Structure 1
Amino acid sequence: MFPVSVNRHIDEHLKNVVLEIETKNPDLSVFTARQFRYNLFQNTVELTIKEPRQFNVLEEFIIRAGLEFDPPPTSTELASVLGLDAVFVNNTIATLQSLQTLSLDSTITVTNEGRLFYEKGTVPQPPYTVTVYAICDALEESVIFQSEYLDDVSMKLPDLTKVVKISDKSINISALEIEKIQNIVKDSDLTFHVPEQGKIVTDFQVIPPTKNIWQSLDLLVIFNAKEDIFNIQVCKGEEILKPASKKINSLLKQGKIYLTELCELSNENIALAREEIIQN
């Protein structure tokens, strides 16, 4: 039980959380439970997406020729082999080139993207774009995409950066490789990049400006009397933010943040409370 002789800072909306923690585990004592605000960075991102359609017979012949002939034929040569009008073949090749299935060479050359679609018996449809929002979280060192715009929230809360050093710079989304963008889309549980279905994010564009967004979080400093250690837990509602908690605990061990600032208690009061908890 936390000693009554030490006046700890427990925000009103976290009192029940603290009571539950200390009731369920008598070895744990919460030294502080406070709500802070911290800054996220939001960017508008335009994703370019291609989806498949079944190729027709002529498209299949042209792509197969580009893959199997050595050397690859010209459009005139292929038209002669197929016994078709060269204009008809050229028009189909131009369509496949516009879809980046064939490269803009003098011979019929299949692109890597064209190979991927061909293996599924398809060619891409004309690309379309969707708008998503990239949320960069310096505390959790993460980037996610979401479909909904995140509104800024006006809040009168202490700034977490006053007690924890957090980067004040957003990740440069524009500098990321397309493979990284595709992985972020998948990790964000968005359905815009599903390669097994032939649906592929092929390009992206970041639309300025970067917007700063204030969000709130709860921070608890918990003392484990049995192990004689302090642990910091960062939460949003009932969700424990594991990467953020790990980062702040690491900063505490490195001496880059201090219990006195987190708990708003002097070293003497922290030591007094710790000793009394251990003895009881």
Structure 2
Amino acid sequence: MFPASVVKPIDENLKYIVEKIEAENSCLSVLAARKFCYTVTQNSLELTIKEPRKFNVLEEFIIRAGMEFNPPPTANELASILGLDSVFVKSTIANLQSLQTLTDTPQITVTAEGSLFYAQGSVPKPPYSVQIYAITDNLAGKITFQYESLDDVVINQLDLAKFVNIEEKMPAISSLELTDIQEMIQSANLPLHVPAEGKFITDFKVRGAAQTVGRNISIFVIFDGNQDQLNIQIRNGKEIVEAATKKMAELYSAEKISLEELCQLSEETINLQREISLNQK
């Protein structure tokens, strides 16, 4: 046990988590637990999405003609080949052009997007828009996407930026390519870009100014008696934030943060815990 004269810097509101950590593993001892705040950047995105519908027989003939004929026929030429009224063929071609399945040229030419849909036996429905939010978190080192806007918490905790240099390494949302957005949203498991089902994000726009949003986190300094080492853990409530935990561990290993300043944790406390652990072995 720690002498009464040695006080662990543990926030009153975090004691229940500390007790749980130590109860679940007798080799772990929480030496410090403090609350902090930091900021993330939130952008509103408008996504343009297209979903498939089965093409009809005439649409299939028109697209096939654009892909297989060399050179591709005009609307009048295809109407003559099919024995149909050219007005009917031209109307269908105009609709396919409005859906970006065909290019707006005299000859029937299929777009890259049109080829993707055709490979699945479909043409796109008229596009529609969806609003989502992109959260750039430099502490966690990632950009996440969600449907709901973040609540801006009241900054009533210690500002982590005063103790830790959180470098802005993540790219600006506006600098990303469409393929970047598609891949990130797929990784986020949002059912908005699902090529296997013929559902595609075909465009995105950043709407409005970026918003700086405050977030609360907790930092735990945990001594592992088995490994004879200190571990830093970042939590959002009870949940461990893995990416942020990894980054803080890297900063500590590189001696870019001071536990004495960050968590008011003295060398005396660390050494005493190490001595206690050795005596227990």
For each residue in 1:12-47, what CA deviation from the matched residue of structure 2 results, as whole angstroms up to 9, or x when unmatched? 121122122223322211110111111011111000
The question of 1:67 aligning with 2:77 is answered no
Q: 2: distance between equivalents of 1:169 and 1:250?
A: 15
CA deviation after TM superposition for structure 1 residue 86, in Å: 2.2
Letter in 2 for 1:128: Y
Contact conserved, 1:8 with 1:263, CA < 8 A, in 2?
Answer: no
Tell me the equivalent position of 1:98. 98
Worse-matched range after superposition: 82-91 or 6-15:
82-91
Question: Could you tell me which residue of structure 2 aligns to residue 88 of structure 1?
Answer: 88
Which residue identity does 1:98 align to in structure 2?
S
Q: Distance in 2 between matches of 1:5 and 1:264?
A: 15
Q: How far is the alpha carbon of 1:135 from its aligned partner?
A: 1.0
User: What residue in structure 2 maps to residue 10 of structure 1?
Assistant: 10
Where do 1:154-165 residues align within 5 Å?
A: 154-165=154-165
Question: Partner letter of residue 137 of structure 1?
Answer: D
Once the 2 structures are TM-superposed, how far is the Cα of residue 226 of structure 1 from its aligned partner? 2.2
Separation (CA, whole Å) in 1 of partners of 2:205 and 2:3: 56
**Corresponding residue of 2:41:** 41
Q: 1:278 to 1:262 in 2, by over 3 A?
A: farther
What is the alpha-carbon distance in structure 2 between the residues aligned to residue 52 and residue 190 of structure 1?
A: 18
The residue aligned with 1:55 is 55
- Tell me which residue corresponds to 1:145: 145
Q: Conserved in 2, the CA contact under 8 Å of 1:31 and 1:263? A: no
Tell me the CA shift for residue 269 of structure 1. Answer: 4.1
**CA-to-aligned-CA distance 1:244-263 (integer Å, 9 cap, x gap):** 11111011111111221232
Normalized against structure 1, the TM-score is what? 0.93
Correspondences of 1:23-38 after superposition (within 5 Å) = 23-38=23-38
Deviates more, 1:182-191 or 1:63-72: 182-191
1:229 aligns with 2:257: no
Please state whether the residue corresponding to 1:10 is helix, strand or coil. coil
Query: Matched residues in 2 for 1:190 and 1:23: separation?
Result: 37
Structure 2 residue 261 is matched with structure 1 residue 261? yes
Q: List per-residue Cα deviations over 1:144-174 (Å, max 9, x = no partner).
A: 1111111211131001112222135864112
Amino acid at match of 1:9: P
Residue 110 of structure 2 corresponds to 110
Structure 1: stretches of 5+ with no match in the other structure: none
**Identity, % of aligned positions:** 52
State whether residues 40 and 215 of structure 2, in contact with CA within 8 Å, keep that contact through their aligned partners in structure 1. Answer: yes
Aligned counterpart, 1:20 = 20
* Contact 2:232–2:245 (CA under 8 A) maintained in structure 1: yes
Match of 1:127?
Answer: 127
- Please give the per-residue CA displacement for 1:158-197, whole angstroms capped at 9, x wherever unaligned: 0111222213586411211212211222233322222222
Preserved contact between residue 31 and residue 265 of structure 2 (Cα < 8 Å): no
Cα 1:169–1:213 shift into 2, 3 Å: farther
* Match of residue 247 from structure 1: 247
Secondary structure of the residue aligned to 1:257 is coil
Measure how far apart 1:241 and its partner are: 0.9
Query: 3-state DSSP class of the match of 2:158?
Result: coil
Paired residues of 2:51 and 2:125 also in contact (CA < 8 A): yes
Counterpart position of 2:274? 274
Match of 2:172? 172
Higher mean Cα deviation, 265-274 or 114-123? 265-274
Preserved CA contact (<8 Å) 2:222 2:231: yes
For structure 2, the 5+ residue unaligned runs are none
Q: Secondary structure at the residue paired with 2:202?
A: strand
Secondary structure at 1:9's aligned position in 2? coil
TM-score, L = length of structure 2: 0.93
Offset of 1:100 from its aligned partner?
0.9
The corresponding residue for 1:210 is: 210
C-alpha distance 30-15 of structure 1, shift in aligned 2 (>3 A): same
Q: Please tell me the residue identity of whatever aligns with 2:126.
A: P
Cα RMSD after superposing both structures: 1.8
1:207 aligned counterpart, secondary structure: strand
The 8 Å contact of residues 74 and 108 in structure 1, kept in 2 or not, is answered as yes
Give yes or no for contact 1:32–1:262 (8 Å, CA) kept in 2.
no
